[in-house]
Amino acid sequence: MAWALVIVAGFFETAFAVSLKMSDGFSRLWWTLTFLGCAGVSFALLSIGLRSLPVGSAYAVWTGIGAAGTAILGMVFLRDPVTTLGLLSILLIVAGVVGLNLSSSSAH
């Protein structure tokens, strides 16, 4: 259950990052409110998940989903450049998160 909370928190991190961009420096009210709501939910879910998970692994999953998700949404919807290096970098983020989790689970 704790991992599910962290994963959902990562999706809300993606949403708050995109909302922050769309708020245009907090000048657009609804996007600003969306940012604040998503950030609050994301941090709340992460904090609940951290009650029973190792901080390094949980934080890596949260930020990995946030970073990769934001980059992908930026490419798909916000006209961010799509490059081979960018796509490879997203894969490296995912691989790093998986590797960190595998290394922490084998240490127990």
What is the pLDDT at residue 101? 83
What is the pLDDT at residue 102? 84
Tell me how many domains the chain contains. 1
Q: Give yes or no for a contact between 18 and 66, defined as CB atoms under 8 angstroms apart.
A: no
Distance CA 106, CA 57 (A): 12
Domain that holds residue 81: 2-106
Return the C-alpha torsion angle 88, 91, 96, 102, nearest 10.
Answer: -140
Encoded tokens for 32: 């600003």
What is this structure's pTM? 0.90
The three-class DSSP label of residue 60 is helix
Encoded tokens for 50: 């951290």
Section 20-46 average pLDDT: 98
Least confident interval from 5-9, 28-32, 53-57, 97-101: 97-101
Query: In the predicted model, is pLDDT for residue 107 greater than 80?
Result: no
